[in-house]
Structure 1
Amino acid sequence: MKDKLRLEWQLFQLALRFLTCMPAAGDLSTSDDLRIRAHKYFPIVGAFVGAIGALVFWASCVWLPQSAALIISLVATLLVTGAFHEDGLANAVEGMSRGSGRTQMLEMMASPGLGLFGALAVALVVALKLVLLAHMPLVLAGVALVLGHMIGMMAVVHVIATTPYVHSNGLQAAAPYITSGGYRFAVLSSIAVLIAAVFYMGLWPPLYLILGSIVLGQLFRSAMMGKLGGYNSDCLGGVMQLSEVGAYLGLSVWF
């Protein structure tokens, strides 16, 4: 039992190290198998990052207006994640907007620098997050941060599990992967958090949140499938960001 718990803690730390800039144990061992198995903890890491944002937001609201506190909260989560997903969104939008074919799109995603379309996409998504959360009650906005980050990472796990990976040469290649057991764990852990939210919010707010996340996440997934025939790591950043902001949109529609 102790070895099992130690392994699960190791997998969680691997997921945390991959998705954030937070320090992990220096002697943390890794392998392809362990990295695959760590994907099941992505939604939990997402909820953890969202919780950091919520705590910073609530603490800042003691001295600052809600809109200013939200900006500080956003900065905190960007520092925790290293703007990992925002960078992916920018690269994916830039490549899919300006590339004339799959190969060129993938090459543009891999090129350094921030293009106009990518910058606009990130700016619009960030602005939309801030506006939507600023119009929610204080406690609801904090809960939304936790749920939005978690559901965004669940969307990433879903894409990994159901969508073909496209290498930069346009062919199938070694790809992120999640086992069926890992996928079930990610789904069940996400449902457990949502059930806990139901006790505070009631049934309808989480349902609207999920629906909004699915709509925007699937719209982005449809775009990348139409243009690329699959996804790459940058597209996962786009999926996460659009699913997160979709969650806030859905919650705002209910509110």
Structure 2
Amino acid sequence: MLRQLQLFLCAVQFLTRIPTPALNGFEPDWISRSARYFPLVGLLVGGACAAVFWAASQIWSGWLPALLAIAAGVLITGAFHEDGLADTADGLGGGTTVAKRLTIMKDSRIGTYGALALGLTLAVKAAALATLPAGLGAWALVAAHGAGRGASVLAMRALPYVGDAKTGKWKPSPSDLSLAEVLTALAVAGLPLALSPDGVVILAVLVGAVLAVALALTARRLLGGYTGDVLGGVEQVFELGFILGVAASLALAAPKGA
């Protein structure tokens, strides 16, 4: 039990800026082993974003609740996944060889591709979220954050690691995840989906999965596998697709002419 608590706290430390107790006896492999709890951390982050969205929706309408909810997530995670998305877009878009792409992704400066990918992703996510009522939007945020982390865990299982073990987000290069660890992560990620309102989950998961798989396959083709930045990108595009799917389901279910 203590071991699992340590792994959960490791996941919280790795994915967020939330203060946690020091981990005595920390080993680099704990980050890989803690991946089973990445979706649980996502649910916590999503829950905080959902609370902000719901509370803000009681005061304002339109874009403001959506923007505040997204800002809350960025603050809690320190833009961890957003940074990965921007670096991935710069590397995949600007490099002509695997070595050049990986070098670009290590650069702390943001380029044109990264700025466009990050700006458009956040803008489209906010626009889609702004179309949702308070309750549905709050649920979508919790589900999207949890499932997005689940998608990144699947990418870790499906693709080889090609990052630099010396300068990557964890050291040494992460060991392969076991099937049990992946299934645990997916089970946690799926908890909010079981509470799907009005049957929106199918389209939401489908759109999120299409975007995540497209990015993962592109990373495999252009990089040979994944890096920590690619995982952040996978999480972000799945989250984007999920919220788009929820908004599309709501729009399709609305009576014509309404």
Please give the TM-score of this superposition, normalised by the length of structure 1. 0.91
- Structure 1 pair 22/48, CA: closer, same or farther in 2 (3 Å)? same
Aligned 1:166-177 pairs, distance under 5 A: 166-168=162-164, 174-175=173-174, 177=176
Q: Which residue of 1 aligns with 2:99?
A: 103
SS of residue in 2 equivalent to 1:91: helix
Q: Are residue 131 (structure 1) and residue 127 (structure 2) matched?
A: yes
Of residues 17, 20, 24, the one that matches 2:16 is: 20
Of residues 81, 86, 94, the one that matches 1:85 is: 81
* Separation of aligned partners in 2, 1:34 and 1:99: 32
Letter in 1 for 2:211: L
Aligned-residue offset at 1:143: 0.6
Letter in 2 for 1:185: T
Q: Which residue of 1 aligns with 2:35?
A: 39
Q: Are residue 231 (structure 1) and residue 230 (structure 2) matched?
A: no
Aligned-residue offset at 1:168: 4.1
SS of residue in 2 equivalent to 1:144: helix
Letter in 2 for 1:229: G
CA contact (8 A) 1:91 1:108 kept: yes
Q: Are residue 60 (structure 1) and residue 47 (structure 2) matched?
A: no
* Separation of aligned partners in 2, 1:106 and 1:38: 25
* Separation of aligned partners in 2, 1:71 and 1:211: 24
Q: Which residue of 2 aligns with 1:218?
A: 213
- 1:22-43 per-position Cα deviation (integer Å, ceiling 9, x unaligned): 0111244421343222110001
Could you tell me the percent identity over the aligned residues?
A: 32
* Separation of aligned partners in 1, 2:206 and 2:27: 36
Structure 2: stretches of 5+ with no match in the other structure = 166-171, 251-258
SS of residue in 2 equivalent to 1:41: helix
Q: Output the aligned Cα RMSD.
A: 1.6
Aligned-residue offset at 1:66: 3.9
* Separation of aligned partners in 2, 1:154 and 1:249: 18
Higher normalized helix content (fraction of residues): 1
Letter in 1 for 2:71: V
- Structure 1 pair 27/164, CA: closer, same or farther in 2 (3 Å)? closer
Structure 1: stretches of 5+ with no match in the other structure = none
Runs of 4+ with deviation above 3 angstroms? none
CA contact (8 A) 1:224 1:231 kept: yes
Q: Which residue of 2 aligns with 1:158?
A: 154
Letter in 2 for 1:7: R
CA contact (8 A) 2:29 2:174 kept: no
Q: How many residues align?
A: 244
- Structure 1 pair 65/36, CA: closer, same or farther in 2 (3 Å)? same
* Separation of aligned partners in 2, 1:213 and 1:176: 26
Q: Are residue 252 (structure 1) and residue 251 (structure 2) matched?
A: no
Q: Are residue 114 (structure 1) and residue 113 (structure 2) matched?
A: no
